[in-house]
Amino acid sequence: MINALGLVLGALLSGPFGGAVAALLFPQVGVDGVVTLRLTIAAIVLLAVSRPRVRGYRRADWLLIGGFGAALAGMNTLAYHAISLIPLGPVVMLEVLGPLVLSVVTARRAASWLWAGLAAAGVALLSSTGFDRLTPAGIGFAVAAGVVWAGYIVASARVGQRFPRTDGLALAMTAAAVITLPLGAGTALLKPHILAMGAAVALLSSALPYSLELLALRRMPTTTFAVLTSLGPAVAALAGYLVLHQRLTPVEGLAIALVVAADIGAVRTPPRAQPVPAAATGHGGHPR
C-alpha cells in the first residue's frame, strides 16, 4: 500500500504542475498552440509505446474513438482557456464538479445529495469573492470543461471495454491532436525551447500520471484511489502558487476545501447501480 500511495501522489503532483508549466507557454504560442503541442506529443508517445492495432474494428468502434478524441480535445481546450484567465486552483475545483455530479447521479443514494450540497456551498462561497480575480469567462470555461470531463469519463469506460490495454487511449489521443491541429498549428511550435516545454507538459500531464495511476490501481482499492485523486484541486492550488505565484485568499481556500470534501464523500458513497469505473478519472486526458 505504501508503494501504491507513492505512485498516486506522484500522479497527483505531476498533473497540476504540468498545467502550471503549460500556463508559462501561453504568452509564447497561445492557448490553442499549447493544447495542440501537448496532445500531439502525447499522441506520438502513446502510439510509440502502445503500437495499437487498427484492423478488425467495426464502424461503431471508430465512432466511439472519434467521440472520445473530441472529448479529450474539448476538455483540454476549455480547461487551458480557463487557466489562462483565472488561478489554477479554482479552475480544477470548478472542473471536478462535472465528475462529481456524475458520481452523485450514478450513486442514486440520498446521502449523495449531501455531497452535492456541500459542493454547491463551495461554489457559492467562491462566487461570493466577486469577479476581480475570477472572471465570468474563466468560470464559464472551467465549468464547461467539467461538463466535457463527465462525458470523457463515460467514453473512457466504453473505450476501455472495447479496446485492449492503452490502445483506445492512444487512438483517441491521436484523434484529439488532429482535431486541435487547425486551431493551434504554427511555426512557433517548432522552436527547440517550445518543443522542450511542450514535451514537459505532455509528460507531466499525460504520460507520467497515466502510467503511475495504472500501476497504482493494480495495488490498491479503487475507492482509496478515487479518494486520493479527489485532492486534485488542492494540489492544483499548490502548483499555481509555486510555479505561477498565484495566491489564494482564505475564502477561496475554504471553497476548494469544501469541494474536495464533497468529492471524497461522493466517491465513498456506495452506489446502487454499477459505478462508473475509477479508471476513467482522468487517465492521460485531464489537463490538471
Name the band, by pLDDT with cuts 50, 70 and 90, for residue 159: confident
Q: Could you give the CA distance from residue 90 to residue 233 in angstroms, rounded to a whole number?
A: 7
pLDDT beyond 60 at 281: no
Q: What is the pLDDT of residue 15?
A: 79
88 by Cβ neighbours in 10 Å (0-12 / 13-18 / 19+) ranks as buried
- CB contact set of 6 (below 8 Å; sequence gap of 6+): none
**Percentage of residues in the chain with pLDDT exceeding 70?**
72
pLDDT beyond 80 at 157: no
pLDDT beyond 70 at 103: no
Q: Could you give the CA distance from residue 98 to residue 150 in angstroms, rounded to a whole number?
A: 5
Count H helices, E strands: the chain? 12, 0
Q: Determine the average pLDDT of the residues in 169-174.
A: 88
Nearest of 152, 169, 101, 173 to residue 277 by alpha carbon? 152
Q: Please tell me which residue, 105 or 12, carries the higher pLDDT value.
A: 12
Collapsing DSSP to helix, strand or coil, 257 comes out as helix
Q: Please say whether the beta carbons of 134 and 88 come within 8 A.
A: no
pLDDT per position as a tens digit, 18-71: 888 888 888 888 899 888 888 998 899 889 888 888 888 888 889 989 998 998
pLDDT beyond 80 at 128: no
Residue 133 vs residues 82, 93, 231, 243: alpha-carbon distances, Å = 12, 15, 23, 18
pLDDT beyond 90 at 78: yes
Q: Please tell me which residue, 84 or 153, carries the higher pLDDT value.
A: 84
Which triple of cell numbers denotes residue 77?
481546450
Name the band, by pLDDT with cuts 50, 70 and 90, for residue 175: very high
**Percentage of residues in the chain with pLDDT exceeding 90?**
7
Name the band, by pLDDT with cuts 50, 70 and 90, for residue 11: confident
Q: Please tell me which residue, 156 or 27, carries the higher pLDDT value.
A: 27
Residue 171 vs residues 27, 53, 54, 67, 277: alpha-carbon distances, Å = 30, 9, 9, 11, 20
Which segment, 41-45, 163-167, 211-215, 282-286, is predicted with the most confidence on average? 41-45
Q: Please tell me which residue, 230 or 6, carries the higher pLDDT value.
A: 6
